[in-house]
Amino acid sequence: MRKLLPRKLDQNGITHHLMPWAVVFVLCFSITLTFRSVISHAAGVSPAIKSGVNGYCLDDHNGSSSNNAIVDSWGCNDSGAQAWTLGIGSIKHGANLCLAVKDNGTTVGDSIILNTCNEAAGQVWLRDQGGFFNPNSGLCLSLPNSQTGEQLVVASCSYLSQPYEVWTSDMNTKCIVGTEGNKVACYAAQEWTNWQSRASGHEALLNTYTDGSPYEEWCADFVSYVYKEAGFPFTRGETNGWDENIASNVQNMGFTYHQANGYIPKPGDVAYFDYSGGHVEIVVSGGPTPTFVYGNSAIIDPVTGNGEMEANTIASKGSEGQVVYYLSPNY
């Protein structure tokens, strides 16, 4: 429950002026219900993110705009507490705060807060159908137990068609600004969203990524496709892309080689894993715990019979292999 603003009444007036005080009570009650989110913010700062529950929006609880602030859903009111910006894999509030899973949690029910933007894995959000997906936890942004007015949590993404996991916005992330790496990361994130939203169209998407050869190990072709869409096509290597097992194919196109140990990945980097047969992924969010998007995962897509597209923060699978180097475009 939200606290109402305190009121002090004249005890004598209650007896002799019942109607005026009743009017004051009703006015104060209605005002305090809406005053909470506008108390320290100007109205209409930037577009809201609307819940699938009609009339409710993503909301900075009490407009505190501080680290560890609670994030909830509240009646849409065009206040600064409900002003958000969609970035490349992020949801920003104000100049330097990001929507985050508390303590980078990975458990159903972990709470949602605001924290200083720092590329933490809990701050990464990709569009998944009508909702928002956190690759680190593999969970989605949700109203707790379908309840409005309560602190948001992460929950199973099995309910993205339900109002409590649906989030809409008029904002569109355009992959036209920033460094070369940021553009690449933006296109990779958009393709992941396309894949998630078009299950029946996977055959067509795979044909696009692989130049009409859908039943192959297409992780490298996906990297080539994303770089081409970002305006930086690969010009060497195999005819349908490049050999992910030969780093020089990409190095010779203006990339810098980094051993994984000791290197902090940046958006747009190509990560090479020494799994059997070799494997490559695109970094969509950098930092000590990078987020990857990639094709041809171990999960089989029932539509194409090939590997699914995945997004996660897995840098090692034990004895199966791990990321051993990164190739970063020269910024």
User: Considering the domain 180-329, what is its CATH architecture?
Assistant: Alpha-Beta Complex (3.90)
Q: What is the three-class DSSP state of 30?
A: helix
- Cα 163 from Cα 155, distance rounded (Å): 13
Residue 103 has φ and ψ, to the nearest 5°, of 55, 30
Element (H, E) at 131: strand 131-134
Q: What's the chain's average pLDDT?
A: 83
Question: Residue ranges per domain, the chain?
Answer: 1-35, 49-169, 180-329
Tell me the three state secondary structure of residue 129.
coil
pTM for this predicted structure: 0.83
Domains 49-169 and 180-329 share a fold: no
Q: What's the CATH fold of domain 49-169?
A: Trefoil (Acidic Fibroblast Growth Factor, subunit A) (2.80.10)
Per-residue pLDDT reduced to its tens digit, 144-179: 999 999 999 999 999 999 999 999 998 877 787 778
- Please choose, from the candidates 183, 322, 180, the residue with its C-alpha nearest in 3D space to the C-alpha of residue 259: 322
SS3 of 149-173: CCECEEECHHHCCCHHHCEEECCCC
Query: Quick check: 74 and 114 in contact, CB under 8 A?
Result: no
**What is the C-alpha separation between 115 and 67, in angstroms, rounded?**
5
Pull the structure tokens for residue 39. 């108390």
Q: What is the pLDDT of residues 214-266, one digit of tens each?
A: 556 789 889 989 998 998 887 655 544 556 666 666 766 778 999 999 999 99
89, 285 contact by CB (below 8 A): yes
Question: Would you write out the chain's pLDDT as a tens digit for each of its 331 residues?
Answer: 332 223 223 333 333 333 343 333 333 334 344 444 333 333 334 579 999 999 999 999 989 888 999 999 999 999 999 999 998 899 999 989 999 999 999 999 999 999 999 999 999 999 999 999 999 999 999 999 999 999 999 999 999 999 999 999 988 777 877 789 999 999 999 999 999 988 779 999 998 888 776 556 789 889 989 998 998 887 655 544 556 666 666 766 778 999 999 999 999 999 999 998 889 999 999 999 999 999 999 999 999 899 999 999 999 999 999 999 999 987 5
Strand partners, 312: 292
Q: How far apart are CA 179 and CA 172, in angstroms?
A: 18
